[in-house]
Amino acid sequence: MIVAGTATQTLAGELAAEAGRDLATVTTKRFPDGERYVRVEDDLETAIVVASTVSDEDHVELIQLQDAAREAGADRITTVIPYLGYARQDRAFDSGEAVSSRALARAISTGTDRVLTVTPHETAVCEYFDVPTTAIDGSQVLAGPLPELTDPVFLAPDEGATDLAVTVRDAYGGGETDFFRKTRQSGDEVSIEPSDASVADRDVVLVDDIIATGSTMAQSVDILTDREARRVFVTCVHPLLARNAYSKLVRAGVAAVYGTDSIERTVSDVSVAPVIADHLE
Ligand code: R5P
């Protein structure tokens, strides 16, 4: 049975339908002091716990769901983390810093036999888990919501996203690919060094793994607009869209924003359930 986290209900439902599994009844409530109570009400033999870890609360709930699944009888647990939070702090950038992705991976590993995650920021974070862990490529579904495009360029806003742009181009069925170079100044400030891509009168699809503050995408849209791109579409696997990220993109003049349901947002136009289902045992 599928055991769904509070923040991942839609995707868990899609996955249940896609994989032909039942959804377990999960009760959560708050104690007066704010702590969360979690109970799985069905008897389980195996469990697929599905929970993105967007917030600290999601992390705590995930660990509780794993424990509740064991208490409900599951002798094998697969943990599906469509969006793996803290993946960007994947090393100590300064002395004394927590390697947050490693710390959380170790904690999650204690409650599961296997982990599946979708397009983590760096695939190498899978090695921090103490159980077999697979990174599934979520970018393969991103071409789905795109309209018909005119002479398209699939553009990565930094070099690290080039493979994603190529995957989306291939899934769309044609077009050029290119990439910009990005330097991050602070949490929400970046500088983009554009390539000499010729985009005038062409549709451009920007592809990244995640939109967090929206600075990377908004600056890229600005550059492309200055270069007279016909329309600029923004697509990503994980539409985190923190704070005013969405309005930044609208102000920059984006034609549309598309993301997957790894994080439930209004732009979550396409589901990663089919690609996750392919990896279930
Ligand atoms: C960074 O390397 C990632 O691939 C994204 O480009 C980045 O996290 C996006 O962040 P933001 O939306 O805050 O610019």
Question: What's the confidence (pLDDT) of residue 187?
Answer: 80
pTM above 0.85, yes or no: yes
Residue 137: how many other CB atoms lie within 10 Å: 15
Scored b (16 or more CB within 10 A) or e, 5-21 reads bebbbebbbbbbebbeb
CA distance 82 to 263: 8
**Residue 189 confidence (pLDDT) above 90:** no
User: What does pLDDT average to over the chain?
Assistant: 97
pLDDT at 43 over 90: yes
DSSP 139-189: GGGTTTT----SS-EEEESSGGGHHHHHHHHHHHT--EEEE-EEEEEETTE
Candidate from 83, 189, 211, 247 with most ligand 1 atoms within 8 A of CB, to mutate: 211
End-to-end CA, the chain: 12
pLDDT band at residue 171 under the 50/70/90 scheme: very high
Mean of the pLDDT values across residues 262-268? 98
CA of 212 to the centre of ligand 1 (A): 6
CA of 208 to the centre of ligand 1 (A): 8
**What is the band of 63 on the pLDDT scale with cuts at 50, 70, 90?**
very high
β-bridge pairing 26-30 and 36-40: antiparallel
Band (238; pLDDT cuts 50, 70, 90): very high
* Catalytic position from the list 59, 102, 182, 265: 182
User: How many Å apart are CA 159 and CA 184, to the nearest integer?
Assistant: 13
- Residues lining ligand 1, judged by CB closer than 6 Å? 158, 160-161, 188, 190, 208-216
Is pLDDT above 90 for 185?
no
Q: Is residue 29 annotated as part of the catalytic site, yes or no?
A: no
Q: Tell me how crowded residue 76 is: count the other CB atoms within 10 A of its CB.
A: 15
Per residue in 128-170, pLDDT tens? 999 999 999 999 999 999 999 999 999 999 999 999 999 999 9
For ligand 1, atom 4, the nearest C-alpha belongs to 209
* Burial (CB count <10 Å: 0-12, 13-18, 19+), residue 45: exposed
Beta strands in the chain (DSSP E): 2-4, 26-30, 36-40, 46-50, 76-81, 114-118, 133-136, 153-156, 176-179, 181-186, 189-193, 203-210, 231-238, 256-260, 268-270
Question: 214-227: per-residue pLDDT in tens?
Answer: 999 999 999 999 99
Residue 248 has a pLDDT of: 97
Task: Give residue 129's pLDDT.
Answer: 98
Q: Which of 209, 244, 246 to mutate to test the pocket of ligand 1 (most atoms within 8 A of CB)?
A: 209
Q: Given this model, what pLDDT does residue 72 score?
A: 98
Q: For residue 79, name the pLDDT band (cuts at 50, 70, 90).
A: very high
| pLDDT at position 184 | 87
Task: Characterize the bridge pairing of strands 133-136 and 46-50.
Answer: unpaired
